[in-house]
A and B are shown apart, each in its own frame.
Chain A
Amino acid sequence: MSIALEDGSRVAIVGGGPAGSLSAYFLLTFAARMDLDLKVDVYEPRDFTKPGPAGCNMCGGIVSESLVQALALEGIELPGTVVQRGIDSYVLHTSADSLRIDTPLHEKRIAAVHRGGGPRDAGEVQWGGLDGYLLGLARDLGARVVPSRVTELDWEDGRPRVRSQDASETYDLVVGATGVNATGLQLFEKLGVPSKRCETTKTYITEIGLGEEAITRQFGTAMHMYLLNIPRLDCAAIIPKGNFLTICLLGKDIDRELISAFFGSDAVQRCFPDGWEVREGVCHCSPKINVREARTPFLDRVVLVGDAGATRLYKDGIGAAYRTAKAAARTAVFSGVSAEDFKRHYWPVYRSIAVDNLFGRAIFEVVHAIKSLGPLLSGCLRMSEKEQRSPGESRRMSIVLWDMFTGSAPYREIFLRTLDPRFLARFLWESALSVPKGVAHG
């Protein structure tokens, strides 16, 4: 049975990060198209214009190529006040070598952003970053931003009730956009969702202030990816922003030992100015990330979006927030807000992210294997290097690496591309050429 939203229906969104703000944005956009009068409240206690953790949603801060394009089609332009640096290339570093890979269009289509007001030691506050900007867009469309923390969720006559520090209000729909780092997820368990919480792992992020000039000189407009043979480290990235570099480590049980090994590696040291001691910035965090989706992301009149539900493994979490937020809003406005409505129209989008992550997991397993086998890693670099040198040639490896590191294409697509016999043959051939002669004859 469907439950439709009507003129005057009220929606509460718990959490004002990208998933929450975009839910409000699309609910109000779709409602306006249908001449439906919706009242949308976004509960967000944080002030995104504050530097440091108080105003930050803690992530690497990359808006992927595919999301930048989708947002442009939606009419959402990311202004220069939000984009700390436009990214047009990446540099792949291994312990022995570095390789720069440009995109065919030579165009800045990836946005490096701060999520909040910037790192703790940012000095001046700059516009509230991506999260502040998206929340502003929702506010411009008529969403009311309630600057209070939600303390309890329960039911009143079959409708969800939101209790905050100051008030208690009943709604026709509650959208959970609490992320995985907030205790907010527990609130939704009390409502009966989800039956199994999403699985999380810890990542590590720090921001190093190097100054805009030095960052432009040393890191340019490229994302720097590190494939190093450090145990438990899946991959690492250094993302140049305005005056800061964001360093992101992804892997299993990231601890001090692993962080020191990364900072101390030759591959990292050679990227910094001579004599610069690479060490943790003033602002650092170990946020949890969602690695396995919640099993039931909806009930009648309740739906979870963004990291609270399902997100993309490791990369493009903001893109997953956009897709889930939009799908939930589309379902609510054009179909209805019953569990059945969400199952029919929201679940397929949600499932596609979850299924794609299975391919993602397989890809990262392969990356693990390649990292630990020198010839395969060299083969990967040689193949990509040759593609760069001959512009006419198809750029199979370069594109696979680009899409994988930037989160620009679904993992399934990347995985299938690597199964192409021409890709495999070339990769194995280049790897064979990389085997030291003594071993080859060995």
Chain B
Amino acid sequence: MAEGVLGKEYGDGEVICRQGDPGDRMYVVQAGKAEVLHEEDGIEEPVGWLQAGDIFGEMAIFERQPRAATVRARGTIRVLTLDKRGFLRHIHEDPSLAYRILQQMSHRIRSLDAELSKLRARAEEHAEN
């Protein structure tokens, strides 16, 4: 890892956080890509991608629930960790810091809506046939 960079580096395929683990921190991608995977019966189903600037792991902090998904590095990735306490202290002092997270969550809901309507259309098509 070069001297002039921040965060922690993960190699290709390495797990950054695992579904079911307690969520005591969140992450910001500094460079590289990662895949979000949902595990069911030991099988990992891809649900999305993360890239530089993306924040992840915040759901577990807001909902006080275990991690909802596993995140694996795809290629080398550099990630900055934000600890739960520090994060919560920051947003209680300055709620505008949550703005980007709201933006990102709203973006995710928009894509999920689009995905859902696509699936519904496909299911209806399937039923008609």
Does residue A203 face the partner (Cβ distance < 8 Å to B)?
no
Does residue A365 face the partner (Cβ distance < 8 Å to B)?
no
Does residue A169 face the partner (Cβ distance < 8 Å to B)?
no
Does residue A437 face the partner (Cβ distance < 8 Å to B)?
no
List residues of B (73-114) whose CB comes within 8 Å of A's CBs. Answer: 80-83, 86-87, 90, 94, 96-97, 99-101
Among B53, B80, B97, chain A packs the most CB atoms within 10 A around the CB of B80
Does residue A115 face the partner (Cβ distance < 8 Å to B)?
no
Does residue B66 face the partner (Cβ distance < 8 Å to A)?
no
| Interchain CB contact under 8 A, A242 and B53 | no
Does residue B5 face the partner (Cβ distance < 8 Å to A)?
yes
| Interchain CB contact under 8 A, A85 and B8 | no
| Interchain CB contact under 8 A, A108 and B100 | no
For residue A64, give the distance in angstroms from its CB to the closest CB of chain B.
Answer: 11
Contacts of A323 on B, CB cut-off 8 Å? 94
* Stretch with Cβ within 8 A of B (4 or more), from A70-78, A137-145, A154-162, A425-433: A70-78
Contacts of A75 on B, CB cut-off 8 Å? 53, 100
| Interchain CB contact under 8 A, A68 and B2 | no
List residues of A (247-272) whose CB comes within 8 Å of B's CBs. Answer: none
Known: A70-B97, A72-B28. A77 touches B3 (CB 8 A): no
| Interchain CB contact under 8 A, B82 and A108 | no
Does residue B55 face the partner (Cβ distance < 8 Å to A)?
yes
Does residue B121 face the partner (Cβ distance < 8 Å to A)?
no
Q: Among A66, A69, A78, A216, point to the contact of B3 (Cβ < 8 A).
A: A216
Does residue B4 face the partner (Cβ distance < 8 Å to A)?
yes
| Interchain CB contact under 8 A, A69 and B7 | no
Does residue A106 face the partner (Cβ distance < 8 Å to B)?
yes
| Interchain CB contact under 8 A, B5 and A80 | yes
Encode A305-323 as 1/0 by CB contact (under 8 A) with B: 0000000000000000001
Known: A72-B82, A216-B3, A242-B3. A106 touches B90 (CB 8 A): no
| Interchain CB contact under 8 A, A78 and B6 | yes
Cα distance, A321 to B87, chains bound together (Å): 19
Name the interface size band of chain B.
Answer: 20 to 34
Does residue A37 face the partner (Cβ distance < 8 Å to B)?
no
Q: Among B4, B97, B99, point to the contact of A86 (Cβ < 8 A).
A: B4
| Interchain CB contact under 8 A, A83 and B5 | yes
| Interchain CB contact under 8 A, A111 and B53 | no
Contacts of B116 on A, CB cut-off 8 Å? none
Does residue B123 face the partner (Cβ distance < 8 Å to A)?
no
Contacts of A77 on B, CB cut-off 8 Å? 28, 30, 52-53
| Interchain CB contact under 8 A, A86 and B82 | no
Does residue A105 face the partner (Cβ distance < 8 Å to B)?
yes
| Interchain CB contact under 8 A, B4 and A72 | no
Main secondary structure of the interface of A (DSSP, over half): mixed
| Interchain CB contact under 8 A, B94 and A108 | no
Cα distance, A139 to B97, chains bound together (Å): 22
Known: A70-B97, A77-B53. A84 touches B80 (CB 8 A): no
For residue B90, give the distance in angstroms from its CB to the closest CB of chain A.
Answer: 6
Cα distance, A420 to B88, chains bound together (Å): 23
Cα distance, A422 to B101, chains bound together (Å): 38
Does residue A284 face the partner (Cβ distance < 8 Å to B)?
no
Contacts of B81 on A, CB cut-off 8 Å? 105, 107, 109
For residue A76, give the distance in angstroms from its CB to the closest CB of chain B.
Answer: 10
Encode A211-223 as 1/0 by CB contact (under 8 A) with B: 0100010000100
Cα distance, A33 to B5, chains bound together (Å): 31
Contacts of B2 on A, CB cut-off 8 Å? 80
For residue A403, give the distance in angstroms from its CB to the closest CB of chain B.
Answer: 11
Cα distance, A75 to B97, chains bound together (Å): 10
- In the complex formed, the residue of B with least CB distance to A75 is B100
For residue A359, give the distance in angstroms from its CB to the closest CB of chain B.
Answer: 16
Contacts of B83 on A, CB cut-off 8 Å? 105
Does residue A326 face the partner (Cβ distance < 8 Å to B)?
yes
Among B2, B30, B96, B100, chain A packs the most CB atoms within 10 A around the CB of B96
Cα distance, A74 to B55, chains bound together (Å): 11
Contacts of A197 on B, CB cut-off 8 Å? none
Does residue A330 face the partner (Cβ distance < 8 Å to B)?
yes
List residues of B (1-51) whose CB comes within 8 Å of A's CBs. Answer: 1-8, 28, 30
What 10 A-B pairs have minimum CB-CB distances, sorted nearest first?
A: A72-B28, A80-B4, A107-B8, A83-B4, A86-B6, A85-B3, A73-B97, A69-B82, A80-B5, A108-B6
A to B CB contacts below 8 Å, 28 in the list? A33-B99, A66-B90, A69-B80, A70-B90, A72-B30, A72-B82, A73-B90, A73-B97, A74-B97, A74-B100, A75-B53, A77-B28, A82-B4, A83-B6, A84-B4, A85-B3, A86-B4, A86-B5, A86-B6, A105-B81, A106-B8, A107-B7, A107-B8, A107-B80, A108-B5, A212-B3, A221-B3, A330-B96
Extra contacts besides A69-B80, A106-B8 (7): CB < 8 Å: A68-B6, A74-B97, A75-B53, A77-B30, A85-B4, A108-B1, A326-B96
Instruction: Give A contacts to B, CB under 8 Å.
Output: 30, 33, 66, 68-70, 72-75, 77-78, 80-86, 105-111, 212, 216, 221, 242, 323, 326, 330
Instruction: Give B contacts to A, CB under 8 Å.
Output: 1-8, 28, 30, 52-53, 55, 80-83, 86-87, 90, 94, 96-97, 99-101
